[in-house]
Amino acid sequence: MKNDWWKQSVVYQIYPKSFLDSNHDGIGDLKGIIQKLDYIKLLGVDVIWLCPVYESPQVDNGYDISDYYQISKLYGSMDDMDTLIKESKARGIKIMVDLVVNHTSDQHPWFIESRKSKDNPYRDYYIWSDQPNDLTSNFGGSAWSYDEKTKQYYLHFYSEQQPDLNWENPDMRRAIYKMMNFWIEKGIGGFRMDVIDLIGKEPDKKIKENGPKLHDYLKEMNEYTFGPANLITVGETWGATPEIGHLYTDAGRKELNMVFQFEHMNLDKQPGKHRWDLKKLDLIDLKDVLSKWQDSFSEDGWNSLFWNNHDLPRIVSRWGNDREYRELSAKMLATLLHGMKGTPFIYQGEELGMTNTNFESIDDYPDIETQNMYKDRLATGFSKEEIMQSIHMKARDNARTPMQWNSSENAGFSTIQPWMKVNTNYRKVNVEQSLVDPDSVFFHYQKLIALRKEKDILIKGRYELVDHDNTQVYAYKRIMDDQELLIVCNFYETPADLHYSEGTKEEDIGILISNYPDSPRALDHLLLRPYEAVVYEFNKR
Ligand code: NOJ
């Protein structure tokens, strides 16, 4: 296997709680995933990113781990996990697990010990202080909680039940590496590293992301765990710039393969404000951000490509049109992303064009982040309507509704009422319906993935933006030796022009994929229909 096999791969993300419930308790599980491996294989992906399935009190849906070595009973057993790894492997698919090591659950034995006394051997596995400063938690309020027993404060950048680990402690680091090697020996294919940019924190200096020792820790982790194993590694790094991205991903530095950067995901947020404070989207901003990342990683380092995950609202409801142009715009967005250079990630349901929710009651949004925000904002004078509007646009639960398998009750996800409400559009948007329609969003994704395997230019080709100032069309080229592709995407429901005259004759222009059956080839004056997206290939004679 090539060292950089992950450059050719496409990853499918599974949020287990919402994928498929096989034991009728309303919660998705590992056996449910195993049942659907052939479906995932049909899409053509190479890697599954599995969100946390470890023992956990589920305060943050498994991102609060109380035992890294056990599978939560909610999801099944270690035998099920072994079967999942084995059955995936039989289909040529690797399992990338979630590595949550910025924090644990407060129910983790390390923290239970740590809070017992100031001289407990585990005290220093976490961060304690006599004097809290004004650092805040990403879930609202202070990042410090007082612990009565030893009369000190502990740090938590997420909920009170997610105390932050102290990466300065070498014993703690060794314990983490041991745990990672346990999973590597089990045969997993890689790690997605939760908020990894926080592990170098220096709270007394108020340093949260990108602390001075972050990259030393990653180098050490690489050396002692996944480095020699040729795995796929992706770091979640909300605060990354391209310069920082290179520190993580330049091959010679021996840290990670790629990171998730979120600059393109923050374009509908008012600068300096919270992500709930919405701003109108502007296509030129998107071009600037994506082009910056494409250009910056044309030589060394590598990009991840994604529109969705379990923390982000559905892309078709954000940059697309989730009403009359749902399918066309979902295909357009897929084409734009999969044409770029990097490793594409698909989040469950994205391949169906699943949309945001519009539930009326806050009770239908169980996520701790949303619940906290709702209370905070009500207390500070926002109206319920304003808050619900932001929730419909931005809440993480938009992505966490159960996977829509068919049009039967509960969308075929479960035989009983699921842990979270199903999106009301499941009769129209579901897997069963997608698989009988050769024109579905699913088959568009399947074709895009297949194209990556056929066309080396999609992996290696240089990116070049075309017609920057066009406010409606995002167009770019991929160039490799004497080969060239042109990707054009109309982001709106009104027709749009693109002037692109290279004098190539129409008969020398091939269409690799399009979301209309009859896209035009007259490139000197291209008129694109609503959300039309085409990948052109130039046949050199
Ligand atoms: C990022 C994860 O993706 C998110 O779901 C979680 O709440 C936080 N990290 C804390 O682990």
pLDDT in tens, 12-32: 999 999 999 999 999 999 999
Confidence of residue 524 (pLDDT cuts 50, 70, 90): confident
Atom 11 of ligand 1: nearest residue by CA position: 63
Cα end-to-end distance, the chain, whole Å: 35
Residue in 53, 194, 265, 372 to alter for ligand 1 test, most ligand atoms within 8 A of Cβ: 194
Residue pair 182/174 in contact (Cβ under 8 Å)? The answer is no
DSSP 8-class letter at 197: G
Q: Is 522's pLDDT higher than 90?
A: no
Rounded to an integer, what distance in angstroms lies between the CA atom of residue 270 and that of residue 197? 23
Q: What is the total residue count of the chain? A: 541
Active-site residue list: 194, 236
| CA 27 to ligand 1 center in whole angstroms | 19
Confidence of residue 500 (pLDDT cuts 50, 70, 90): confident
For residue 462, list its beta bridge partners: 479
Q: Which atom of ligand 1 is nearest to the CA of 102?
A: 11
| CA 193 to ligand 1 center in whole angstroms | 10
Rounded to an integer, what distance in angstroms lies between the CA atom of residue 171 and that of residue 122? 9
What type of residue sits at position 532?
E
Q: Is 175's pLDDT higher than 60?
A: yes
49-74: average pLDDT: 98
What pLDDT score does 523 carry? 87
Pick from 331, 327, 328, 395: nearest CA to 359 = 395
Dihedral of alpha carbons 101, 107, 110, 111, sign:
positive
Q: Is 11's pLDDT higher than 90?
A: yes
For 188, residues 6+ apart whose C-beta sits below 8 A from its C-beta are: 85, 94, 95, 96, 97, 231
Residue 461: C-alpha distances to residues 48, 51, 167, 484 (Å): 25, 31, 39, 8
Residue pair 258/304 in contact (Cβ under 8 Å)? The answer is yes
Rounded to an integer, what distance in angstroms lies between the CA atom of residue 113 and that of residue 489? 56
DSSP 8-class letter at 434: H
Rounded to an integer, what distance in angstroms lies between the CA atom of residue 206 and that of residue 441? 46
| CA 63 to ligand 1 center in whole angstroms | 6
Rounded to an integer, what distance in angstroms lies between the CA atom of residue 160 and that of residue 170? 24
Atom 5 of ligand 1: nearest residue by CA position: 311
| CA 369 to ligand 1 center in whole angstroms | 10
What pLDDT score does 233 carry? 98
In 3-state terms, the chain is what percent helix, strand and coil (to 5)?
Answer: 35, 20, 45
Atom 2 of ligand 1: nearest residue by CA position: 194
| CA 133 to ligand 1 center in whole angstroms | 23
Residues with CB under 6 A from ligand 1: 60, 63, 100, 158, 194-195, 236, 310-311
Rounded to an integer, what distance in angstroms lies between the CA atom of residue 305 and that of residue 318? 17
Q: Which atom of ligand 1 is nearest to the CA of 369?
A: 7
Confidence of residue 1 (pLDDT cuts 50, 70, 90): confident
For 186, residues 6+ apart whose C-beta sits below 8 A from its C-beta are: 81, 82, 85
Q: Which atom of ligand 1 is nearest to the CA of 139?
A: 7
Confidence of residue 3 (pLDDT cuts 50, 70, 90): confident
Q: Is 2's pLDDT higher than 80?
A: yes
Confidence of residue 203 (pLDDT cuts 50, 70, 90): very high
Residue pair 472/494 in contact (Cβ under 8 Å)? The answer is yes
What type of residue sits at position 147?
D
Pick from 448, 437, 443, 442: nearest CA to 335 = 448
Pick from 500, 541, 540, 493: nearest CA to 522 = 500
Here the tokens at position 451 are 């194209």
Here the tokens at position 194 are 């939760």
Q: Is 501's pLDDT higher than 80?
A: no
Here the tokens at position 329 are 């715009």
Rounded to an integer, what distance in angstroms lies between the CA atom of residue 13 and that of residue 305? 13
Residue in 192, 311, 369, 370 to alter for ligand 1 test, most ligand atoms within 8 A of Cβ: 311
The pLDDT mean for the chain works out to: 97
Q: Which atom of ligand 1 is nearest to the CA of 51?
A: 3
Atom 8 of ligand 1: nearest residue by CA position: 63
What pLDDT score does 525 carry? 86
Rounded to an integer, what distance in angstroms lies between the CA atom of residue 466 and that of residue 29? 45
pLDDT in tens, 220-271: 999 999 999 999 999 999 989 999 999 999 999 999 999 999 999 999 999 9
Pick from 9, 48, 2, 7: nearest CA to 297 = 7
Confidence of residue 541 (pLDDT cuts 50, 70, 90): low
